[in-house]
Amino acid sequence: MTRLTIRKPDDWHVHFRDGDILKSVAPFTAAHFARAIVMPNLVPPVTTAKMAADYRARIMAAVKGHAFTPLMTCYLTDDTDRRDLIAGFSDGVFTAVKLYPAHATTNSAAGVKSIDKVMPVLEAMAEAGMRLCVHGEVPLPEIDVFDREKAFIDRVLLPLLARVPTLKIIMEHVTTKDGVAVVRAHKDRLGATLTPQHLLYNRNALFAGGLRPHMYCLPVLKREEHRLALRQAATSGEPGFFLGTDSAPHLRHLKEADCGCAGVFGAPAALAAYLKVFEEEKALDRFEAFASLNGPAFYGLPPNEERVTLEKRPSLVCDEVEVGKLGEIHPLFGGDQVDWSLAPAS
């Protein structure tokens, strides 16, 4: 198969940042996807409906000329105002809530410290039909960094599913066979997004010939057995698994540093990266389910009506994306040739 026509895909997990970085990176997502769930871990984080509406307006300005809809999320804290949250959801400002365990990742210091404290918010969300996106790691120093997703499943996710029986949860950027198994065991309640980097690489990629800061993201890349389980899940067509790039841009000098930032900037080559996986797994016929159908169905939203054609045509991924005077960002596959491209609109 060298051409594939499908409903236009959505990206169910992206970081756009703000200011000059937003202006430089958001058009890559808007060029390939109809909608995206936008992460709220700005500085300061997006914690109110007003902040989300203002941020959405800045995103719309950055993607002018593209038919693109940003779907906003609220950064959950121990002090989230549930009335503002539910009103923001009813008004169409918020689509979902993001739970970062405090200190789990980039700009998560204001994240959730006590699940007990946020329980009334989670119950209100369940009642309103609002989805919860989780960064599924327990960031305690005594837990090995490669075991933090499994610890989250056992200590946080399973108890949460029992405590709020009607809340629908998305395990963002699932990275382990344990994550795949728990999603399968809780059909309808749990969904999961999968990133291109976790489908393409195992943890060896972090150390290939030397330390590779551009391969570093959180949750960190895992062992090969996990990568294989993720590939099988993504290409299975099962409704619980869908596309979410976790495209997370950081300036080059902040990644190639003594204490480098976590995040892979996947947006420019995201579709090509996923299609490489689906082609290798002989599952191109299931790409539309993963990229365009399962995500909206889990969120209770209609799939996109517009169709796009993806074609096997080599193209070069830009080596860097310039961000004004701030520096540049190195994308996934930057400087490399990829096999799949979006066909020009006819």
**Active site members:** 246
Element (H, E) at 229: helix 224-234
How many separate helices (H) and strands (E) can be counted in the chain? Answer: 13, 13
- Spatial CA neighbour of 10 closest among 290, 313, 346, 338: 290
DSSP string, 287-318: HHIIIIIHHHHHHT-PPP--EEEEEEEEEEPP
Residue with smaller CB distance to ligand DOR, 95 or 195:
195
Please, which of residues 219-258 interact with ligand DOR by CB under 6 A? Answer: 248
- Spatial CA neighbour of 2 closest among 337, 291, 310: 310
Strand order from edge to edge, sheet including 11-14: 11-14, 35-38, 69-75, 94-99, 131-134, 169-171, 190-194, 241-243
Which of Zn ion, ligand DOR, none lies near 73, with the C-beta cut-off 5 to 8 A by kind? Answer: none
Cα 278 from Cα 90, distance rounded (Å): 37
Residue with smaller CB distance to ligand DOR, 180 or 218:
218
Q: How far is the CB of 47 from Zn ion (least distance, A)?
A: 17
Q: How far is the CB of 282 from ligand DOR (least distance, A)?
A: 30
Residue with tokens 């993201």: 217
| 270-280 vs 19-32: helix crossing angle, rounded to 10 | 40
Among residues 105, 176, 193, 292, the one that binds ligand DOR under rule CB under 6 A: 105
Q: How far is the CB of 92 from ligand DOR (least distance, A)?
A: 25
| 92, two tokens | 């169409």
The 10 Å Cβ neighbour count of residue 43 is 10
Residue with smaller CB distance to Zn ion, 11 or 246:
246
Residue with smaller CB distance to ligand DOR, 56 or 135:
135
| 321, two tokens | 């994306």
Among residues 4, 217, 234, 269, the one that binds ligand DOR under rule CB under 6 A: 217
Among residues 101, 263, 295, 296, the one that binds ligand DOR under rule CB under 6 A: 263
Among residues 87, 262, 326, 342, the one that binds ligand DOR under rule CB under 6 A: 262
Q: How far is the CB of 15 from ligand DOR (least distance, A)?
A: 5
Please, which of residues 36-65 interact with ligand DOR by CB under 6 A? Answer: 41
- Spatial CA neighbour of 248 closest among 132, 345, 119, 107: 107
Tell me: does residue 11 bind Zn ion (CB under 5 A).
no
Which three-class secondary structure state does DSSP give residue 337? strand
DSSP string, 94-112: EEEEEEPBTTSSTT-TTSB
Residue with smaller CB distance to ligand DOR, 102 or 262:
262
Q: How far is the CB of 66 from Zn ion (least distance, A)?
A: 22
Residue with smaller CB distance to ligand DOR, 52 or 284:
52
- Beta-strand ranges (E) seen in 62-163 are 69-75, 94-99, 131-134
Which of ligand DOR, Zn ion, none lies near 263, with the C-beta cut-off 5 to 8 A by kind? Answer: ligand DOR
Among residues 130, 246, 249, 308, the one that binds Zn ion under rule CB under 5 A: 246
Residue with smaller CB distance to ligand DOR, 60 or 262:
262
Q: How far is the CB of 98 from ligand DOR (least distance, A)?
A: 10
The 10 Å Cβ neighbour count of residue 63 is 21
Tell me: does residue 149 bind Zn ion (CB under 5 A).
no
Please, which of residues 8-37 interact with ligand DOR by CB under 6 A? Answer: 15
Give me the 162-201 binding string for ligand DOR, x by CB under 6 A, dash otherwise: ----------------------------------------
Q: How far is the CB of 110 from ligand DOR (least distance, A)?
A: 13
**Residue ranges in contact with ligand DOR by CB under 6 A:** 15, 41, 105-106, 135, 217-218, 248, 262-263
